[in-house]
Amino acid sequence: MTVASRVLDRAAWQQRERLHHERADALTAAHRERASRGEKHPVWDFLFTYYSYAPSRLKRWHAGAGVVLRDASERLDWRWYSPAGSHSSVVADASRFAAEKPGLAQLIERMLRRTAARPGQFGCFGLHEWAMVYRDDEHRHSAPLRLGQAGTDAVVEAHELRCTHYDAFRFFTPAAAGRNRLLDRAGQPEHEQPGCLHAGMDVYKWAIKLGPLVPGELLLDAFELAAAIRLLDMEAAPYDLSEWGVEPVAIETPEGKAEYVRRQRAFAGRGNVLRRRILAAWLAGEAADLDAQDAGSQSAHGAQTALDAARSSRSAMTRSAAS
């Protein structure tokens, strides 16, 4: 993005904001309607309960780190925004985020970079959902098992569990956990890989945690990927979800495995594109937002202090990502 295009006048940014609101409303309309009636959905509720971000968070538009919004003084009270010169301008401030949330900034960068850099693994066949009900009469969902308990257990026992995602592994039944390699929270950055469906959905989580540093359009791209992945996640699950119009991907068969892997590979590619776009929007914005602040009313000492803080934070993040 050129320097000129990193400054948006009020008419330009409000137009983008309106389009974002329309797109976000369309993406969440069905969920909001169900919620108004108190209805649950075994596939789509996950996007708003497991990740625990309300539709209103998706609807809030940001231009991204380092992009100056003119005549936007109402955003000065928004978190991680800073003044940016004249015209009541503001900028989403990556250096403030890094200073206030150094641990989170380091984790997000590490997870995005390392996951994108690794080769995808495509031999798990979505068995994580099966491992969550293995040899256990109490299940996470009320829907029946389409092969019954004995048939479900037999599928698990006929395969090697190869889960690499801790936030799936931690829900495995005790009997299933012993059939997978041990995973823990501390080791998550070392094991995450782009072939994992849940790692692909988590791109949305990392994007929304960065708040105004990620352009709204990119956030909704990540949400759309998470929704597409979630559908396959539950199509390949052991549950009978025909009541909700979900056709199974029978991963216990050669045909089901082939379909799962084909779609899994496509999601891995889309996820890596989004990881790189998030890193570019966020980290490229650090220098830009400092330039914008320097053009404003900061004293020379204040500007230098902000610059030194951002450089120090950026250096720490780089060292952490390389470790």
- Give the list of residues 6+ apart from residue 204 with CB closer than 8 angstroms, or none: 51, 219, 222, 223, 225, 226
What string of H, E and C letters represents the secondary structure of the chain? CCCHHHEECHHHHHHHHHHHHHHHHHHHHHHHHHHHHCCCCCCCCHHHHCCCCCHHHHHCCCCCECCEECCCHHHCCCCCEEECCCCCCEEECHHHHHHHCHHHHHHHHHHHHHHHHCCCCCCCCCCHHHHCCCCCCCCCCCCCECCHHHHHHHHHHCCCCCCCCHHHHCCCCHHHHCCCCCCCCCCHHHHCCCCCHHHHHHHHHHHHHCHHHCCHHHHHHHHHHHHHHHHHHHHCCCECCHHHCCCCCCCCCHHHHHHHHHHHHHHHHHHHHHHHHHHHHHHHHHHHHHHHHHCCCCCHHHHHHHHHHHHHHHHHHHHHHHC
State pTM to two decimals: 0.87
CA 175 from centre of chain: 30
Contact between 110 and 321 under an 8 Å Cβ cutoff? The reply is yes
Q: Tell which residue, 87, 79, 78, has the closest CA to residue 7.
A: 87
**Measured between alpha carbons, how far is 11 from 141 in angstroms, rounded to an integer?**
47
Instruction: Encode pLDDT of 7-53 as tens digits.
Output: 999 999 999 999 999 999 999 999 999 999 999 999 999 999 999 99
Helices 254-294 & 216-235, crossing angle to 10 degrees?
Answer: 160
Instruction: Encode pLDDT of 210-269 as tens digits.
Output: 999 999 999 999 999 999 999 999 999 999 999 999 999 999 999 999 999 999 999 999
Least confidently predicted of 9-18, 80-89, 185-194: 80-89
**281 pLDDT above the threshold of 80:** yes
Q: Mean pLDDT, to the nearest integer, of 261-285?
A: 96
pLDDT attached to residue 286: 63
Contact between 54 and 48 under an 8 Å Cβ cutoff? The reply is yes
Residue 293 main-chain phi, psi, to 5 deg: -65, -40
**285 pLDDT above the threshold of 70:** no
Instruction: Encode pLDDT of 147-161 as tens digits.
Output: 999 999 999 999 999
pLDDT band at 323 (very low <50, low <70, confident <90, very high): very low
- Give the list of residues 6+ apart from residue 82 with CB closer than 8 angstroms, or none: 90, 91, 93, 96, 289, 292, 293
**Measured between alpha carbons, how far is 30 from 318 in angstroms, rounded to an integer?**
41
**Measured between alpha carbons, how far is 131 from 126 in angstroms, rounded to an integer?**
9
**Measured between alpha carbons, how far is 34 from 139 in angstroms, rounded to an integer?**
23
Mean pLDDT of the chain: 89
pLDDT attached to residue 194: 98
**316 pLDDT above the threshold of 70:** no
